[in-house]
Amino acid sequence: MPAKTRVPAVEGWFTTEGDEPALLGTRCRSCGTYAFPRESYFCKNPACDGREFDDVALSRRGRVWSFTNNCYQPPPPFVPTSDPFEPFAIAAVELADEQLVVLGQMVPGTSVDDLKAGMDVELVVDTLFEDDEHEYLVWKWRLVETGAPA
């Protein structure tokens, strides 16, 4: 059996090159405002009429700003990886440098009971779903070990 090819579930939203995955966003050349997903036409800053954007890799670290438990099986194209469906935690994370809030699933094993606003998380890339030939990848958030004794 050949190994499955690992491909992003959504094209161009993150990079999996190297050991450190990163979300891919843009920064406005006129005012420096960051955007995720990538901006192509208009700056998010209402006071700016910039139309040119540089691609940037965004912070891999951030802080939990808000979170929720996804108790219901989401609609297609999401493909459940477990049957019966197991709820998972979704966190809105404020990126360390850009102050953008990016929604993402927490890694398996982290429930809403483990989460508090302000906790540090880092970006990882994990399997969203698989078929016979591919593993489809998506970014997820993982709690950063604080170094405190268990």
- Is 28 a binding residue for Zn ion by CB under 5 A? The answer is yes
* Alpha helices per DSSP H over the chain: none
The answer to whether residue 42 forms part of the interface with Zn ion (CB under 5 A) is: no
| Cα–Cα distances in angstroms (integers) from residue 100 to residues 23, 63, 89, 94, 125, in the given order | 11, 11, 19, 5, 19
**In the complex with Zn ion, which residue's Cβ is closer, 28 or 90?**
28
Contact segment (CB under 5 A) with Zn ion among 5-13, 32-40, 57-65, 80-88 equals 32-40
Strand intervals (E) in 51-133: 53-57, 61-70, 88-95, 101-106, 120-130
Measured from the CB atom, the residue of 45 and 69 that comes closer to Zn ion is 45
Considering all CA atoms of the chain, what is the largest pairwise distance in Å, rounded to the nearest integer?
Answer: 55
Which of the ranges 29-37, 81-89, 95-103, 138-146 carries the binding residues for Zn ion, by CB under 5 A?
29-37
Does residue number 30 form part of the binding site for Zn ion (CB under 5 A)?
A: yes
In the complex, the residues that contact Zn ion under the rule CB under 5 A are 28, 30-31, 33, 43, 45, 48, 50
